[in-house]
């Protein structure tokens, strides 16, 4: 079994727990207790939205997913900063936001669009000398973190309510939206944290196509997305001998008319057998699914 699932993760369970539930559904469906599954980008437990999951040998295709852009809708809450930079953390500082913050916020957003530097929060999965930062934070330790570049492609205000604003964010992989909220508050001169967070998109996976666990359990095959629909490689079909050689790891002649450096390879029965790389008139196996 090979493919991707566009899972809607509700707020509450961890990404690992959600993936484990999906894996069990497909392991039962395929009759394979050792079936692999892995997600493409963690969502914090309190966040909801798109959580792409690779099923079976699709886990080996994750490095080929070039589009890693993310899309979110979040709530920027002013007046309180926290240890985790979201609503779950303990209060670090509180203050009444300046009365003119609604007028100042929208012009300020443009300063955070483009390539910006972010310092990973202590409660994050980034590593420091081999250990996760959140592990150190839970021990009460604070270590120096190096700022790293991320890209914000778009940042727009959707609405205002009391001491909060709803924002839509389009950003690169590795962007911390809660840090963005914290930094926006600092630029406004007031403590701030991230409230609610919904991931609207992760690469080619979008929210309106996402399925709940119940929907996936009712129709596992219907929820499984073929790799060709996610990774934009052309597909070629090899004859019996060619597919056997390809499976054995041997270079085979590249069929006429094949385009693209990388291609999905299927055999005469249209079973996906791997990914090949075009080398002139030859096709070299790069990932083989036995």
Tens digits of residue pLDDT in 225-258? 999 999 989 999 999 999 999 999 999 998 887 7
What's the rounded Cα separation, in Å, for the pair 172 and 92? 28
Residues of the chain with CATH 3.30.2350.10: 2-66+205-229, 70-202
CATH of domain 235-288: 2.30.130.10
Listed residue (81, 70, 65, 45) closest to 177, CA to CA:
70
pLDDT at residue 272 in the model = 92
Identify any residues that bridge with 73 across adjacent strands, giving them in sequence order: 168, 198
Residue 135: band (very low, low, confident or very high) from pLDDT cuts 50, 70, 90: confident
pLDDT at residue 124 in the model = 66
pLDDT at residue 257 in the model = 73
Strand runs labelled E in the chain: 2-9, 37-39, 48-56, 70-78, 80-82, 91-94, 114-118, 127-128, 131-132, 148-161, 164-171, 192-202, 205-206, 235-237, 252-253, 262-266, 272-279, 282-288
Q: Which tokens belong to 273?
A: 């057998």
Least confident of 1-10, 47-56, 119-128: 119-128
pLDDT tens-place string over residues 159-191: 998 899 999 999 999 899 999 999 999 999 999
Query: What is the arithmetic mean of pLDDT over 97-124?
Result: 90
What's the rounded Cα separation, in Å, for the pair 134 and 215? 33
pLDDT > 90? residue 41: no
Query: What is the arithmetic mean of pLDDT over 72-93?
Result: 94
pLDDT > 70? residue 33: yes
pLDDT at residue 248 in the model = 92
pLDDT > 90? residue 193: yes
Q: Which residues contact 245 (CB under 8 A, 6 or more apart)?
A: 251, 252
Q: What is the mean pLDDT of the chain?
A: 91
What's the rounded Cα separation, in Å, for the pair 34 and 230? 24
pLDDT at residue 208 in the model = 96
pLDDT tens-place string over residues 47-82: 999 999 999 999 999 988 888 899 999 999 999 999
pLDDT > 90? residue 44: no
Listed residue (1, 18, 95, 91) closest to 55, CA to CA:
1
Q: Which tokens belong to 128?
A: 């420091």
Catalytic residue among 44, 86, 183, 267: 44
Residues of the chain with CATH 2.30.130.10: 235-288
pTM of the model: 0.88
- Residues 261, 283: contact at Cβ < 8 Å? no
Helices (H), 115-190: 133-138, 177-188
pLDDT > 90? residue 25: yes
Alpha carbon dihedral 55, 59, 64, 69, in 10-degree steps, equals: 70
Provide the pairing of β-strand 114-118 with 127-128.
Answer: unpaired
pLDDT > 70? residue 128: no
Residue 143: band (very low, low, confident or very high) from pLDDT cuts 50, 70, 90: confident
Q: Which residues contact 57 (CB under 8 A, 6 or more apart)?
A: 1, 2, 36, 289
CATH 2.60.40.10 applies to domain 2-66+205-229: no
- Residues 30, 56: contact at Cβ < 8 Å? yes
Q: At residue 131, what are phi and psi to the nearest 5 degrees?
A: -115, 145
Residue 44 among the catalytic residues: yes
Least confident of 97-106, 118-127, 143-152, 206-215: 118-127
Q: Which CATH number fits domain 70-202: 3.40.50.1010, 3.20.20.140, 3.30.2350.10, 3.40.1280.10?
A: 3.30.2350.10
pLDDT tens-place string over residues 260-278: 789 999 999 999 999 999 9
Residues in the chain: 290
- Residues 71, 170: contact at Cβ < 8 Å? yes
């Amino acid at each position: 079994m090979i493919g991707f699932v566009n899972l809607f993760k509700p707020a509450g369970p961890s990404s690992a727990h959600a993936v484990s539930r999906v894996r069990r559904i497909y392991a039962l469906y395929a009759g394979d207790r050792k079936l692999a599954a892995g997600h493409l980008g963690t969502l914090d437990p309190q966040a909801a939205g798109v959580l792409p999951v690779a099923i079976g040998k699709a886990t080996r295709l994750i490095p080929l997913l070039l589009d890693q852009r993310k899309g979110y809708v979040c709530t920027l809450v002013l007046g309180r900063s926290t240890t985790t930079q979201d609503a779950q953390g303990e209060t670090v500082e509180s203050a009444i936001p300046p009365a003119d913050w609604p007028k100042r916020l929208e012009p300020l957003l443009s300063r955070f669009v483009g390539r910006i530097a972010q310092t990973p929060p202590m409660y994050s999965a980034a590593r420091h000398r081999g250990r996760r930062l959140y592990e150190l934070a839970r021990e009460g330790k604070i270590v120096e973190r190096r700022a790293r570049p991320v890209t914000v492609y778009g940042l727009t205000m959707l609405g205002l309510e009391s001491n909060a604003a709803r924002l839509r964010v389009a950003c690169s992989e590795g962007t911390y939206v809660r840090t963005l909220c914290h930094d926006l508050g600092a630029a406004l001169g007031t403590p701030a944290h991230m409230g609610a967070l919904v991931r609207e998109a992760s690469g080619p996976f979008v929210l309106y196509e996402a399925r709940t666990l119940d929907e996936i359990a009712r129709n596992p095959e219907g929820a499984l997305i073929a790799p060709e629909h996610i990774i934009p490689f052309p597909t070629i079909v090899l004859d019996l001998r060619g597919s056997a050689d390809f499976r054995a790891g041997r270079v085979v002649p590249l069929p006429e008319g094949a385009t693209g450096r990388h291609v999905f390879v299927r055999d005469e029965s249209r079973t996906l057998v791997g990914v090949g790389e075009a080398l002139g008139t030859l096709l070299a196996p790069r990932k083989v699914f036995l």
